[in-house]
Amino acid sequence: MRDAMVQRQRGKLSRWICPQRGPLAEREFRLLLGGRTLSFFGTAMSNVAVAFAILDLTGSKADVGYVLASQQLPKAVFLLLGGVWADRLPRHRVMVATSAISGAAQCASAALLLSHEAGVAVLAVLAALNGSAAAFFTPASRAALPATVSEALLQPANAILRLAQNGTAIVGTAAAGGLVATAGPGYAILVDGLTYFGGAAFIGAIRPRADHVAATRTSVLRELREGWDAFRSRTWLWTIVVQFSLVNAVQSGSMNVLGPAIAKARLGGAAVWGAILTAQAVGYVLSGFLMLRLRVKRLLFLGTLCVFPMALPLLALARPLPALAIGGCAFLGGVSLEVFGVAWYTVLQRETPRHLLSRVSAWDDFGSIVFIPLGLAAAGPVSDAIGARATLLGSATIIIVTTALILFVRDVRRL
């Protein structure tokens, strides 16, 4: 009898986590999930490793920002063109080709670091190559999901994909912190490069749904304009993208440049910073389980409210608080931000025509990242000029104020 009760409880838990298997019953979604999960793991390691690789080479926060900006700048430049081609071509094929380019760039960076031949300039060039490939990969990946599941399964499918991303981030950031501390950042970046190739093998086997067709080709400029018209006609869409153009810029500079520098100087180094990022990823994962089942009438409004706690880790770093407290703030920020992430992608995919989805996603991504290179490049010099604490407090203030303003937009509250 006891065994039967245990089995019933396990069944209830399984149905709560993924009712009737949902998206996992679809072969194409499982392939997409497998490919993205491998890439997520490598990226989680690389995010920690790159910052500490530059700090080991030069000890300069500004150099960290410059290399990270070198990856983001070409991504912003080529994103709109990437959106056009992702709507023209089979999106999974675009993802395979660009994954191979990114994998080659990361393996080359790792080889230079491991052979002690790396310099900031060449690492920046390879980062730019990786970013250029990402400009074509990102809009294709944003629009690939509806080609693998029905519309009714979009929210749980988004939740599962982000659960995979954040679950691997827990392992990846923790592993990166330990690997960087013991063997050096080159090995973590090498793992990232290899996972791009593994992910490409999974994604290359996808056969998109029959109801998913590519856009009719005209001219590049006309197709860009069609995407822009669809983007600007949705007030909820362009206003939140404007908001995140600022939020992402200050958050990226604070967490990716100032965070590792503060951890190295005052918190104990790469292993501690990896643990803080792991706490954030745990928050993402727990929130992802919630979003598998949560159903609310105003999904976008709920997601927007959950942007406010993004400021918590920055406020904690500003003092800085003890590492455990910073990790707790990162955890809370992760929980709330994941609610926004699932809400945002679900609404975007439901409210945008399929043949325009890559182009609209490209305008979304372009606006969201356009100031990230500036945020990354400026974080070090600004903190040198006014202090890390003032820089972090200013960044937190921008997050809070812009989010409060967005709540005045009627479509955001009522969609």
Is 59's pLDDT higher than 50?
Answer: yes
Give the DSSP H/E element, type plus range, for residue 254: none
13 has pLDDT over 50: no
Count the Cβ atoms, other than its own, within 10 Å of residue 308.
Answer: 16
Amino acid at 272: V
Distance CA 312, CA 387 (A): 19
Q: What is the pLDDT of residue 307?
A: 93
Residues 6+ apart with CB under 8 A from 267: 273, 276, 320, 323, 326
Amino acid identity at 299:
L
Q: What would the two tokens of residue 15 be?
A: 């149905």
Give me the residue label for tokens 């690997």.
Answer: 179
Residues 120 and 54 sit within 8 Å (Cβ to Cβ): yes
φ, ψ dihedrals at 311, nearest 5°: -75, -20
Nearest to 303 by CA among 346, 333, 334, 340: 340
The pLDDT confidence band at residue 214, using thresholds 50, 70 and 90, is low
Peptide bond before 208: cis, by omega within 30 degrees of 0? Answer: no
- Gap between the Cα atoms of 116 and 57, Å rounded: 10
pLDDT of 14 reads 47
Contact 283, 340 (CB under 8 A): no
Q: For the chain, how are helix, strand and coil distributed in percent, rounded to 5?
A: 85, 0, 15
Give the pTM.
0.70
Residue-range domains of the chain with CATH: 21-209+217-414 (1.20.1250.20)
Q: Over 70: is that where the pLDDT of 217 sits?
A: no
The 3-state DSSP class for residue 114 equals helix
Looking at residue 392, its pLDDT comes to 94
Residue 32, φ and ψ in degrees, nearest 5? -60, -45
How far lies 45's CA from each of 192, 277, 333, in Å?
7, 11, 20
pLDDT at residue number 256:
85
What does the alpha-carbon distance between residue 150 and residue 148 come to, in Å, rounded to a whole number? 7
Q: What is the pLDDT of residue 66?
A: 81
Mean pLDDT, to the nearest integer, of 243-265? 90
- Is pLDDT of 364 > 60? yes
Tokens, residue 236: 């909820």
Task: Examine the pLDDT at 135 and tell me if it is beyond 80.
Answer: yes
Q: Is the model's pLDDT at 286 over the cut of 90? A: no
Cβ–Cβ under 8 Å, residues 208 and 214? no
